């Protein structure tokens, strides 16, 4: 059974030069399997789920337009993991961040079927 | 940006049938399959429904999904106390983004 294990800091200073970096390690499967794709979602305190970005095969990346200029997402096949970088963080980026797998079903390729445990990231105001 | 709307709250008594609505647009629910997620307090979201009405293995049969036009619904039959959670619909949007609904908090009275 494939599992996702997240890692990264719980506190990031607010600054245009500060970058929030999170990693999601894949176990029980390969991050490079062509039928699976990977994404990041966050949940700010008291708010709903917000999709951040996803990476599909051949490095095709889709971003939430509200975050696009600050977000990068990548896959490291040598470490069997994928990562999120969010630049120029502010207090508005405080949230629980989740990594997840797109199931890649032929008729529903975008659904997230497996989720990481979540990482609470705080950016003080 | 595309908006998918859900009622902020819903409630029912144990054993009751509860339905949660999800309203989108032609670019998301109207043209792509709908997903439903359950988020228990303090836990990561869990996939309940994919492809509008399909349950992954391990999801209780009392959860069912449907879609009509630009709206979708999640029904919980035989409501149980452990169903108290936040529920989100979601769909891919033709503008190349994945959109979550606003979320519904279900309370079991």
Closest CA to B2 of B89, B104, B98: B98
3-state per-residue secondary structure call for A75-90: EECCCCEEEEEEECCC
**Could you say which DSSP state residue B95 is in?**
T
> Rounded mean pLDDT of A111-123?
97
What 3-state class would DSSP assign to B6? coil
CB contact under 8 A, B102 and A65: no
Span A77-101, pLDDT tens digits: 999 999 999 999 999 999 999 999 9
Between vectors from CA B71 to CA A55 and to CA B106, what angle results, nearest 5°?
85
> Rounded mean pLDDT of B30-35?
97
CB contact under 8 A, B46 and A115: yes
Span A22-50, pLDDT tens digits: 999 999 998 887 778 999 999 999 999 99
Query: Residue A91 and residue A81: Cα distance in Å, rounded?
Result: 27
* String of DSSP letters for B30-92: TTS-EEEEEE-TTS--EEEEBTTTBPPTTS-TTEEEEEETTEEEEEESS--GGG-EEEEEEEE
Q: Is residue A58 predicted with pLDDT exceeding 70?
A: no
CB contact under 8 A, B100 and A51: yes
Nearest Cα of chain A lies from the Cα of B16 at a distance, in angstroms, of 26
Residues of A with CB under 8 A from a CB of B: 39, 41, 43, 48-51, 54, 62-66, 98, 103, 105, 107-108, 110-113, 115-118
Closest CA to A112 of B35, B53, B66: B35
Nearest Cα of chain B lies from the Cα of A1 at a distance, in angstroms, of 13
Q: How confident is the model at residue B1 (pLDDT cuts 50, 70, 90)?
A: low
Residues of A in contact with B3 (CB under 8 A): none
> Rounded mean pLDDT of B82-94?
97
What 3-state class would DSSP assign to A58? helix
């Amino acid at each position: 059974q494939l599992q996702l294990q997240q890692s990264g800091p719980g506190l990031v200073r607010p600054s245009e030069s500060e970058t929030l970096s999170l990693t999601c390690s894949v176990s029980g499967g390969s991050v490079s399997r062509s039928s699976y794709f990977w994404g990041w979602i966050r949940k700010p305190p008291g708010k709903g789920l917000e999709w951040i970005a996803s990476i599909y095969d051949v490095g095709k990346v889709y971003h939430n337009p509200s975050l696009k200029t600050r977000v990068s997402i990548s896959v490291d096949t040598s470490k069997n993991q994928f990562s999120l970088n969010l630049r120029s963080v502010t207090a508005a980026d405080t949230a629980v961040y989740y990594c997840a797998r797109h199931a890649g079903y032929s008729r529903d390729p975008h659904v997230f079927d497996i989720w990481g445990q979540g990482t609470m990231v705080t950016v003080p105001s | 940006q595309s908006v998918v709307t859900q009622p902020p709250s819903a409630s029912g008594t144990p054993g009751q049938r509860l339905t949660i609505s999800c309203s989108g647009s032609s670019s998301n629910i109207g043209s792509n399959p709908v997903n439903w997620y359950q988020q228990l307090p303090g836990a990561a979201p869990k996939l309940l429904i994919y492809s509008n009405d399909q349950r992954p293995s391990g999801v209780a049969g009392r959860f069912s999904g449907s879609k009509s036009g630009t709206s979708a619904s999640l029904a919980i039959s035989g409501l149980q106390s452990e169903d108290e959670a936040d529920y989100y619909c979601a769909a891919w949007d033709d503008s190349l983004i994945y959109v979550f609904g606003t979320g519904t908090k279900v309370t079991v009275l």
